[in-house]
Amino acid sequence: MSTETPRKLPGIPDIPADQRTPAVVQLLELCHRQQEQIQALRDEVARLKGQKPKPVIKPSALEGDRTEKKQGQAPKPHGKRHKTAELEIHESVKRQPAETIPPNSRFKGYQDFVVQELRIGVHNTRYRLERWVTPEGESLIGQVPAEIGGVHFGPQLRAFILYQYHHAM
């Protein structure tokens, strides 16, 4: 005779250990599998009707081991994503500050300014604005061409959008 305790099924009374024959245990196991299958079918019918299936309620964390940590999960990224980071850059232009750079100034890298333009095809230009710090602590940065006007869209693209807005209605 089997000594394992069969899982409790709704509507079936507990069977004493002396009456649990291998056939009875096998029938109880079959009933349990059928109950799981019936519940899965009920959940599928509810899903097809647009209703929510029976929720899966996990056991309390207070009863289990608290030291378990989830494996394989990467930390969530924080902060604002850069919208121009994924753009394909077709041209890169370096620009120096308009002012004369004094001697003993330190080069501090570039400040990127991406302009999107339309050339019946996409053409993105990255202006690499040189940044310098003078010995007095003043910051000098290269300038974007005047026709760009500090906007991240080129003059041809802006003209096309305005034309479409006013004439293609």
Query: Do the domain assignments include residue 116?
Result: yes
For the chain, what is the domain count? 2
Residue-wise pLDDT tens digits, 30-62: 988 998 899 889 888 888 888 877 788 888 777
Q: Provide the pairing of β-strand 106-118 with 139-141.
A: unpaired
> What percentage of the chain reaches a pLDDT higher than 70?
86
The whole domain housing 154 covers 91-167
**Which of 42, 57, 72 is where one domain is finished?**
57
- For residues 50 and 95, membership in a common domain is answered with no
Query: Do the domain assignments include residue 79?
Result: no
Report in angstroms the alpha-carbon separations of 105 from 54, 81, 118, 135: 69, 33, 38, 6
Q: Give this prediction's pTM.
A: 0.34
Q: Give the pLDDT confidence score for residue 2 in this predicted structure.
A: 46
- For residues 96 and 50, membership in a common domain is answered with no
- For residues 158 and 106, membership in a common domain is answered with yes
